[in-house]
Amino acid sequence: MSDPNPLREGLTARPQPKPCTVVIFGATGDLTMRKLLPALYNLAADGDLPPKTQILGFARRPKTDEEWRKEMEDAVRKFSRQTVKDELWASFGQTIGYHQSEFHDDDGYKRLAERLDQIDREHGTGGRRLFYLSVAPDQFGIIVERLKKFGLHEGKDGGWARVIVEKPFGTDSASAHRLNEQIAGTFPESSIYRIDHFLGKETAQNIMVLRFANAIFEPIWNSRYIDNIQITAGETLGVEGRAGYYETSGALRDMIQNHLTQLLCLVAMEPPTDLSADSVRGEKVKVLRSLRPMKDSAEVNENVVRGQYAAGAIQGKPVPDYRTEKNVNPESMTETFVAMRVFVDNWRWAGVPFYVRSGKRMPKSGAEIAIQFKRAPGVLFNRQDGESSGNSLVIRIQPDEGVALKMQAKLPGGALRIEPVKMDFQYGSSFGRPSPEAYERLILDAMGGDATLFARRDEVEEAWKFVDPIEESWAGKRGPAPKMCFYPSGSAGPDESDELLARDGRQWRRM
Ligand code: BG6
């Protein structure tokens, strides 16, 4: 499609993007306070934010620049990765402004266009505009149409206009397609950045480096040597006041369709021809197209477990069941846990199950990918059968980002006893500095015009096509609906999740 992106050539030092104005739609929302402003501040604190970058919040509530700035200061002080330095805030705070308007109000966009021109004149932002849509998907179309109407879909005076779109990107392939069509009516694909924050996590980015910058892994990265792959993302949190959204989503749409499928693609894809956004994303799409579809509820039943948390305890503290959480339907059939067995039907992965699971109210918060290698032949040292005799390579996405290789070693002493040991690489201790937050990296990439870590249109739609039949089966549209399995909060999911692997003679890694 397009030429290799010069920003990524050889992964050498990246030129700093030029300053732009970041316009955040949904400026008073949770994400803006918890993630976006703290990310922008941390970029500034690390010297990565192009000097003169301006930030403009766009939302419905009446507020002055000063009021919003103060709210953002409080939010950044609360949620920032680094402690806020007063001197830096004094200058950073001055780059923040607020623009009040309804999302559908033409006049608001007319004023926005004038204000952006003024910012360009006063701050040298060069007609470069980054629109961040941190709003519900039904607002995407309304906003981008108006941006176009007032000429804001293109940069000015040699600048550019780009749009970052937050999840959820639709609820199925048809709605994702409609959203794509709406946005494509305003912006070309090269200017659309569909965010999946898991791709911005340091260890997720390291998957490609691990695989393609080392010669030792690729020869064994296939069905001859790998027994199975387990991808897990668990969190101790429950629905946390997000029932309005979560009740229409559930774990499959919230975590699996996007974050975990993206991780699966990075692990399973073929080496791209170069590191351009389109080469990398093209390889990921091939994986998505190779996912074995589940066509009816019998196949879903065989391969997928849906669960919902019941009352239980998290770190010793009692927590209620999902159905009694605020704004949750007391008969809710929304899943808070999914475990599934997925096959990638291509030459490399023929017959290798990918076990994927994600859940709320798990015993621990964390995300990892475990590559479980086949066992050594059962001769010499490996006569006793047992789970411990296989090697595994575990990529810890969070927390304690790192990579660990489990292998067998001889216990010191006269007797020949063999125990599993770990070779462990930890980001924190190896590089001596904390990893940036995913949003920092992703916002900076969008400013620099690098879409590699963002989902392309076909990626999103293909991922939905895989998920759609599962949702439809659960809704009883493809045969009798598979059951909901309940699990106590604080456990690693329902028993049926363990049975899914036990049927294959395997077990989950412990969470
Ligand atoms: C979000 C989901 O995309 O990812 C949340 O909507 C989930 O439900 C979150 O809690 C997990 O992300 P992280 O980075 O906190 O692990």
Residue 8 lies in a domain: no
User: Ligand 1: which atom is nearest the Cα of residue 249?
Assistant: 6
pLDDT computed for residue 16 by the predictor? 82
Known catalytic residue at 259: yes
Amino acid 93 reads G
The answer to whether 293 and 471 have CB atoms below 8 angstroms apart is no
443 shares a domain with 330: yes
Please name the residue whose Cα sits nearest to atom 2 of ligand 1. 254
Q: Point out the ligand 1 atom lying closest to the alpha carbon of residue 233.
A: 16
**Length in residues, the chain:** 511
Q: Is 3 helix (H, G, I), strand (E, B) or coil?
A: coil
119 domain-assigned: yes
Give the distance (Å) from ligand 1 centre to CA of residue 199: 12
In a domain, 236, yes or no: yes
Candidates 170, 335, 138, 328; CA nearest to 243 is 328
**Residue 478 to residue 461: CA distance in whole angstroms:** 21
- Is residue 173 assigned to a domain? no
| Ligand 1 atom at minimum distance from 198 CA | 14
Backbone angles phi, psi at 361, to 5 degrees: 60, 45
Whether residue 429 sits in one domain with residue 306: yes
Number of domains in the chain: 2
- 206, part of any domain: yes
Q: For residue 384, what pLDDT is reported?
A: 59
SS3 at position 330: coil
Distance 107 CA to ligand 1 centre (A): 35
pLDDT (tens digit, 9 = 90+) per residue, 140-157?
999 999 999 999 999 999
Please list every protein residue whose CB sits less than 6 Å from any atom of ligand 1: 197, 235, 254
Q: Residue 302 corresponds to which tokens in the numbers above?
A: 């065989």
State in Å, rounded, how far the first CA of the chain is from the last one.
41
Considering only CA atoms, which of 19, 57, 66 is closest in space to residue 37? 57
Q: Is 477 helix (H, G, I), strand (E, B) or coil?
A: strand
Atom 15 of ligand 1, nearest CA residue: 235
Q: How far is CA 445 from CA 15, 16, 130, 233, 375, in A?
A: 11, 10, 11, 25, 41
112 and 220 inside one domain: no
Domain co-membership, 367 together with 439? yes
Task: Please check whether residue 373 lies inside any domain of the structure.
Answer: yes
Q: Are 161 and 220 within one domain?
A: no
Instruction: For residue 185, tell me if it sits in a domain.
Output: no
**Tell me, what CATH number does 127's domain have?**
3.40.50.720
365 and 438 inside one domain: yes
Token readout for 427 is: 């980001």
What is the rounded distance in angstroms from the CA atom of residue 74 to the CA atom of residue 68?
10
Q: Domain range holding 124?
A: 17-166
Measured by CA distance, the residue closest to atom 8 of ligand 1 is 254
| CA 392 to centroid of ligand 1, rounded, Å | 26
Q: What is the CATH number of the domain that holds 471?
A: 3.30.360.10
Does a structural domain hold residue 11?
no
Q: What average pLDDT is seen over the chain?
A: 93
Q: Are residues 71 and 162 in the same domain?
A: yes
Distance from Cα 121 to the centre of ligand 1, integer Å: 39
Q: What are residue 25's DSSP bridge partners? A: 58, 133
Q: What are phi and psi of 455, to 5 degrees?
A: -80, 135
- Residue 216 to residues 77, 166, 243, 408, Cα–Cα distance (Å): 44, 37, 46, 18
157 and 208 part of one domain: no
- Which mutation among 202, 255, 263, 335 tests ligand 1's pocket best, with the greatest number of atoms within 8 A of CB? 255
Of 112, 145, 166, which residue constitutes the final position of a domain? 166
- Type of residue found at 187: F
The pLDDT tens digits along the chain (511 residues) read 444 454 444 444 566 899 999 999 999 999 999 999 999 999 999 999 999 999 999 999 999 999 999 999 999 999 999 999 999 999 999 999 999 999 999 999 999 999 999 999 999 999 999 999 999 999 999 999 999 999 999 999 999 999 999 999 999 999 999 999 999 999 999 999 999 999 999 888 899 999 999 999 999 999 999 999 999 999 999 999 899 999 999 999 999 999 999 999 999 999 999 999 999 999 999 999 999 999 999 999 999 999 999 999 999 999 999 999 999 999 999 999 999 999 999 999 999 999 999 999 999 999 999 999 998 887 777 665 544 568 999 999 999 899 999 998 888 988 888 888 999 998 888 887 788 999 999 999 999 999 999 999 999 999 999 999 999 999 999 999 999 999 999 999 999 999 999 999 999 999 8
Statement to judge: residues 419 and 273 lie in one domain: yes
CA trace torsion 382, 387, 390, 393 (10° rounding):
-160
For residue 503, count other CB atoms closer than 10 A to its CB.
10
Question: Using CA of residue 154, residue 156, residue 157, residue 159, what is the dihedral sign?
Answer: negative
State the distance from the centre of ligand 1 to the C-alpha of 366, rounded, in angstroms. Answer: 11
Q: Which helix (H) or strand (E) holds 140?
A: helix 140-149
Peptide bond just before 482 cis, omega within 30 deg: no
Say if residue 143 is in the same domain as residue 219. no
Residues 329, 438: one domain? Answer: yes
SS3 label, residue 436: coil
